[in-house]
């Protein structure tokens, strides 16, 4: 025992006091623990009703409550690719859309008057319908529950509300960096075009109709496809009789539900970046596919992941958080599901400047797991945590009942958890090293960083792999394109040719090989009020460059139809995908080629209304042009641009002050409106046609 008297006390009395008192507290190592009583598993009664529905009942009389959940074999994995979101909306409107006899609003009132609830939901690989009631209202609430499950009405107004809410959710999905990381990482690992990795989009929601919901419901909601579990203050025989009577008239039969689609994904290793400028921290993930829960190596893999990154004592927590102070959140998890591989992932967040270092340290810690055995201590801690906390898997009847239900649903043995516990107890250090070597593959690691790369300090490429920037701008719904028929297409072509005539003649337009234009842009005060000079140069058919002088510095953008670059005061590089898409839109709408769209076989020119042309191409670009009936010249064009956050912006350009350049009529003033509000005024200072521009002049960086 140290002598407290020798300590130099500079900090304050507490240290000496603490040292003196230390002797009074026995070491935690000296504590003896009595054995836990043997687990008493509650008795769950199970029955199959004549209609095929399975029942699981567990009495619990502590509180005057009755609760239940029906598990339905369905899931959003069954969404049709063009209607992603169907299961989600069906699961919601099943309850909110009301029953044959009552609207959803009436149910809300009836249930909340009783402080009860009936809710439905369809997730990835199962659907649920649940209820909760004070004991004395059990019968009334069960009545509602049954009607919702068996006679839903899917009223249109609630379908509209649900679709509206989902669209609003989509528009907000890029606001939170953690949400972006989770979503994009899953999309990368499972594949964006598979049910495990795709997202609900405006377009897929828009296609979903009431008939789709009814079909989806009809396919999956039938008694033999449902397991109903209830727990609470009831007598099991009584409740069984009650439920049997209640559901006696529900006798629909359907073919067995097919298995879920398998996960099929070729590993796509690499470093991926999502640029988000309004953050001070980078949210990162690294990993690859995990396994299923019944994988023979799962217990060892879980122990491995626990030692690496679960809890305060884990290696990542100790290194990245405690020793380096790089992160508040850092963890590793071997993801496993009942029926398909989960994600093995390391995730955390760190200040922008530490991005590369934090990811590197995480990779090093991972590598250590693969190259040397964990210490006996680490193994013991990980095992002890599993063993000693085992009892918490059974500490409420609801947990025990829900777990049993899931095991039955996924066809796992009832005692799966006990087998797992046994397997964990048998895991050796050699096992941990073996599974880390065999199952963790640094060569196919996917790394994702969501953050502000201009603050990274070191570029992500320092991780030693090519960096691919992900475009997460939210795809706009398929625009309502006007009805096109042979007639309207012919009429559109005719009108466009009249515009060509009014602009100086098709021959003159077609003879244009290049255009140079200097313009001044004044942004409206609500948009920030900045002023800029811009020099645009275009060489037919598709090489474009803009040099602009802004108050914050010069920006140059170049694009040749395939690739391009950007140079800003912060530096430069390849055109990021989001911006490239923007520039492609600009190219599509370039004034001269646009007027000659009838000569471009990739473009459709349609008469969309009186004096309104709609021009579109096969890449999904489209623009509406309104022709001034007096001059025959374009008066305005309207189009949509994608935003990295929120819904697309509707942009309108109004053309005025036409003047003649080389015999061609060009607008000298362009008013730009965004979502109907003035955004900027552009004034053309001078313009030249066929000045003999060379492609190599345009591609040369400033």
Partner 1 sequence: MKRFSIILALCPLLANAQNLKEFERKVTEFTLPNGLHFTVCERHEAPVISFHTYVNAGAVDDPEGKTGLAHMFEHMAFKGTPTIGTKNWALEKKALEEVERAYDVLEAARNEERNKPDADRTRIPQLEAALKAAIEKASSYVEPNLYPRIIEESGGVGLNAGTAEDSTEYFYNLPENKMELWFLLESARFLHPVFRDFYKERDVVREERRMRTESDPQGKLMETFQATAIMAHPYRRPPVGWASDIENLRMGDAEAFFNKYYVPGNINIAIVGDVKPAEVRRLAEKYFGPIAKKPLPSPVVTVEPPQDGPKMAQVESPSQPIEFIGYKRPDQHDKDDAVFDVISGILSSGRTGLLYRELVRDQKLALAAGADAAFPGTKYPGLFLFYLVPSLGKTLPENEKAFYGVIDRLRKDPIDAQTLARVKTKTRANLIRQLDSNSGLARLLTSAYANYGDWRKIFTDLEDVEKVTAQDVQRVANQYFTDKSRTSGFLFQGAQK
Ranges within 293-332 binding partner 1 (CB under 8 A) = 311-313, 317-318, 321-329
**Which of 387, 657, 685, 691 touches partner 1 (CB under 8 A)?**
387
Stretch that binds partner 1, among 187-195, 360-368, 391-399, 432-440 (CB under 8 A): 391-399
Residues 354 and 362: their CA atoms lie apart, in Å, by 12
173-202 residues in contact with partner 1 (CB under 8 A) are 175-177
Question: Containing H/E element for 143?
Answer: helix 138-150
- The 416-455 site mask, x for binding partner 1 (CB under 8 A), equals ----------------------------------------
**Which of 59, 233, 339, 533 touches partner 1 (CB under 8 A)?**
233
Q: To the nearest whole angstrom, how small is the minimum distance from the Cβ of residue 137 to partner 1?
A: 8
Stretch that binds partner 1, among 16-24, 294-302, 415-423, 598-606 (CB under 8 A): 16-24
Q: Could you tell me how far CA 377 lies from the centroid of its own chain? A: 39
| Alpha-carbon torsion (106, 109, 114, 115), positive or negative | positive
588 touching partner 1, by CB under 8 A:
no
Residues 584 and 618: their CA atoms lie apart, in Å, by 13
**Which of 45, 48, 50, 64 touches partner 1 (CB under 8 A)?**
64
Please say which residue, 164 or 268, places its beta carbon nearer to partner 1: 164
**Which of 24, 371, 483, 618 touches partner 1 (CB under 8 A)?**
24
Please state, as a whole number, how many other Cβ atoms lie within 10 Å of the Cβ of residue 259.
9
Stretch that binds partner 1, among 11-19, 215-223, 363-371, 684-692 (CB under 8 A): 11-19
Stretch that binds partner 1, among 5-13, 425-433, 478-486, 582-590 (CB under 8 A): 5-13
**Which of 82, 218, 238, 380 touches partner 1 (CB under 8 A)?**
380
**Which of 5, 37, 259, 676 touches partner 1 (CB under 8 A)?**
37
607-666 residues in contact with partner 1 (CB under 8 A) are 644-647
Please say which residue, 65 or 688, places its beta carbon nearer to partner 1: 65
Residues 63 and 315: their CA atoms lie apart, in Å, by 43
Residues 476 and 546: their CA atoms lie apart, in Å, by 26
Please say which residue, 9 or 563, places its beta carbon nearer to partner 1: 9
Please say which residue, 44 or 77, places its beta carbon nearer to partner 1: 44
Q: Which two tokens stand for residue 378?
A: 């680490």
524-543 residues in contact with partner 1 (CB under 8 A) are 527-530
Residues 211 and 220: their CA atoms lie apart, in Å, by 15
Q: Which residues, including other chains, have CB under 8 Å from residue 297's CB and lie 6 or more apart?
A: 291, 435, 438, 439
Please choose, from the candidates 654, 592, 597, the residue with its C-alpha nearest in 3D space to the C-alpha of residue 622.
597
Q: To the nearest whole angstrom, how small is the minimum distance from the Cβ of residue 398 to partner 1?
A: 8
Q: Which residues, including other chains, have CB under 8 Å from residue 376's CB and lie 6 or more apart?
A: 429
- Is there a contact between 336 and 290 (Cβ–Cβ < 8 Å)? yes
Please say which residue, 524 or 668, places its beta carbon nearer to partner 1: 524
DSSP 356-381: HHHHHHHHHHHHHHHHSPPPHHHHHH
Q: To the nearest whole angstrom, how small is the minimum distance from the Cβ of residue 376 to partner 1?
A: 13
215 touching partner 1, by CB under 8 A:
no
Region class of 70: left (phi > 0), else alpha (psi between -120 and 50), else beta: beta
DSSP state of 562: S
Residues 460 and 466: their CA atoms lie apart, in Å, by 9
106-165 residues in contact with partner 1 (CB under 8 A) are 108-109, 112-117, 132, 134-136, 161, 164-165
Please say which residue, 398 or 635, places its beta carbon nearer to partner 1: 398
337 touching partner 1, by CB under 8 A:
no
68-97 residues in contact with partner 1 (CB under 8 A) are 96
667-686 residues in contact with partner 1 (CB under 8 A) are none
Please say which residue, 553 or 692, places its beta carbon nearer to partner 1: 553
Please say which residue, 109 or 215, places its beta carbon nearer to partner 1: 109
Stretch that binds partner 1, among 30-38, 211-219, 464-472, 559-567 (CB under 8 A): 30-38
DSSP 3-state of 163: helix
449-478 residues in contact with partner 1 (CB under 8 A) are none
**Which of 72, 84, 122, 170 touches partner 1 (CB under 8 A)?**
170
246 touching partner 1, by CB under 8 A:
no
Please count the residues of this chain forming the interface with partner 1, following the rule CB under 8 A. 104
**Which of 45, 82, 105, 415 touches partner 1 (CB under 8 A)?**
105
DSSP 216-260: HHHHH-SGGGEEEEEEESS-HHHHHHHHHHHTTT-----PPPPPP
Please say which residue, 64 or 541, places its beta carbon nearer to partner 1: 64
- The 549-568 site mask, x for binding partner 1 (CB under 8 A), equals -x-x----------------
Please state, as a whole number, how many other Cβ atoms lie within 10 Å of the Cβ of residue 659.
12
**Which of 146, 167, 545, 636 touches partner 1 (CB under 8 A)?**
167
Percent of the chain as helix, strand, coil, to the nearest 5? 40, 30, 35
- What is the Rg, in whole angstroms, of the alpha carbon atoms belonging to the chain? 33
**Which of 65, 406, 444, 491 touches partner 1 (CB under 8 A)?**
65
Please say which residue, 361 or 509, places its beta carbon nearer to partner 1: 361
Stretch that binds partner 1, among 21-29, 368-376, 435-443, 605-613 (CB under 8 A): 21-29
Per-residue CA distances from 34 to 41, 206, 380 (Å): 20, 62, 20
Beta-bridge partners for 401: none
7 touching partner 1, by CB under 8 A:
yes
Q: To the nearest whole angstrom, how small is the minimum distance from the Cβ of residue 541 to partner 1?
A: 30
Q: To the nearest whole angstrom, how small is the minimum distance from the Cβ of residue 358 to partner 1?
A: 10
Please state, as a whole number, how many other Cβ atoms lie within 10 Å of the Cβ of residue 702.
9
Burial of 55 (0-12, 13-18, 19+ CB in 10 A): buried
- Is there a contact between 650 and 676 (Cβ–Cβ < 8 Å)? yes
280 touching partner 1, by CB under 8 A:
yes
Q: Which two tokens stand for residue 84?
A: 């992603």
The distance in angstroms from the start CA to the end CA of the chain is 72
480 touching partner 1, by CB under 8 A:
no
Q: To the nearest whole angstrom, how small is the minimum distance from the Cβ of residue 247 to partner 1?
A: 25
HEC string of 461-513?
HHHCCCEEECCCCCCCCCCCCCCCCHHHHHHHHHHHHHHHHHCCCHHHHHCCC
Per-residue CA distances from 311 to 288, 303, 308, 325, 332 (Å): 21, 12, 9, 16, 9
- The 249-278 site mask, x for binding partner 1 (CB under 8 A), equals ----------------------------xx
């Amino acid at each position: 025992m140290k002598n407290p008297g020798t300590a130099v006390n500079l900090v304050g009395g507490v240290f000496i006091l603490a040292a003196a008192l230390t002797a009074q507290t026995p070491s935690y190592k000296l504590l003896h623990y009595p054995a836990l009583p043997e687990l008493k598993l509650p008795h769950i009664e199970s029955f199959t009703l004549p209609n095929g529905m399975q029942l699981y009942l567990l009495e619990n009389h502590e509180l005057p409550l009755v609760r239940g959940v029906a598990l339905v074999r369905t899931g959003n994995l069954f969404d049709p690719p063009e209607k992603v979101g169907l299961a989600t909306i069906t699961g919601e409107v099943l309850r909110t859309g009301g029953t044959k006899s009552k609207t959803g609003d009436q149910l809300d009132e009836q249930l909340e008057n009783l402080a009860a609830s009936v809710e439905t939901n369809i997730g990835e690989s199962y659907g649920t319908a649940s209820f909760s009631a004070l004991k004395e209202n059990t019968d009334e609430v069960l009545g509602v529950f049954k009607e919702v499950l068996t006679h839903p009405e899917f009223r249109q107004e609630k379908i509209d509300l649900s679709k509206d809410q989902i669209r609003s959710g989509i528009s907000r999905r890029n606001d939170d960096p953690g949400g972006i990381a989770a979503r994009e990482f899953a999309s990368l690992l499972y594949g964006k075009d598979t049910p495990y990795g795709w997202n609900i989009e405006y377009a897929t929601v828009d296609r979903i109709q009431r008939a789709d919901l009814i079909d989806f419901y009809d396919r999956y909601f039938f008694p033999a496809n449902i397991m109903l579990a209830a727990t609470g203050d009831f007598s099991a025989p009584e409740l069984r009789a009650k439920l049997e009577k209640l559901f006696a008239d529900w006798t629909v039969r359907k073919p067995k539900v097919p298995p879920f689609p398998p996960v099929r994904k070729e590993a796509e290793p690499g470093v991926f970046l999502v640029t988000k400028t309004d953050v001070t921290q980078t949210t990162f993930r690294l990993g690859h596919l995990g396994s299923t829960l019944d994988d023979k190596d799962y217990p060892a893999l879980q122990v491995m992941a626990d030692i690496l990154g679960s809890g305060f004592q884990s290696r990542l927590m100790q290194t990245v958080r405690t020793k380096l102070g790089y992160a508040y959140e850092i963890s590793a998890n071997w993801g496993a599901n009942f029926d398909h591989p989960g994600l093995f992932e390391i995730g955390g967040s760190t200040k922008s400047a530490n991005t590369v270092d934090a990811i590197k340290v995480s990779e090093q810690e991972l590598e250590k797991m693969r190259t040397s055995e964990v210490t006996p201590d680490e193994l013991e801690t990980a095992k002890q945590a599993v063993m000693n906390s085992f009892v918490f898997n059974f500490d409420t009847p609801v947990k025990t009942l829900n777990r049993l239900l899931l095991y039955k649903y996924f066809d796992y043995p009832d005692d799966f958890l006990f087998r797992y516990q046994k397997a964990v107890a048998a895991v050796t250090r050699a096992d941990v090293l073996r599974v880390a070597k065999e199952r963790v593959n640094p060569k196919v690691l996917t790394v994702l960083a969501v953050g502000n790369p201009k603050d990274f300090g070191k570029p992500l490429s320092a991780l030693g792999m090519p960096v691919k920037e992900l475009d997460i701008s939210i795809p706009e719904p398929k625009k309502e394109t006007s009805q096109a028929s042979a007639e309207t297409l012919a009429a559109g072509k005719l009108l466009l040719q009249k515009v060509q005539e009014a602009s100086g003649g098709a021959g003159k337009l077609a003879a244009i090989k290049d255009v140079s234009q200097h313009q001044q842009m004044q942004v409206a005060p609500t948009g920030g009020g900045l002023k800029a000079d811009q020099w645009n140069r275009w060489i037919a058919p598709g090489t474009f460059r803009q040099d602009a002088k802004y108050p914050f510095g010069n920006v140059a953008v170049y694009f040749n139809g395939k690739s391009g670059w950007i140079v800003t005061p912060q530096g430069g590089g390849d055109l990021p995908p989001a911006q490239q898409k923007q520039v492609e839109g600009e190219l599509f709408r370039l004034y001269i080629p646009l007027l000659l769209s009838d000569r471009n076989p990739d473009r459709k020119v349609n008469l969309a209304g009186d004096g309104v042309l709609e021009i579109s191409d096969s890449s999904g670009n489209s623009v509406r042009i309104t022709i001034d009936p007096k001059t025959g010249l374009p008066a305005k064009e309207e189009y949509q641009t994608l935003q990295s956050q929120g819904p697309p912006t509707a942009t309108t350009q109004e053309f005025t002050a036409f003047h003649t350049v080389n015999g061609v009529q060009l607008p000298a003033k362009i008013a730009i409106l965004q979502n109907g509000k003035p955004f900027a005024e552009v004034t053309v200072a001078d313009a030249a046609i066929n000045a003999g521009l060379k492609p190599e002049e345009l591609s040369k960086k400033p």
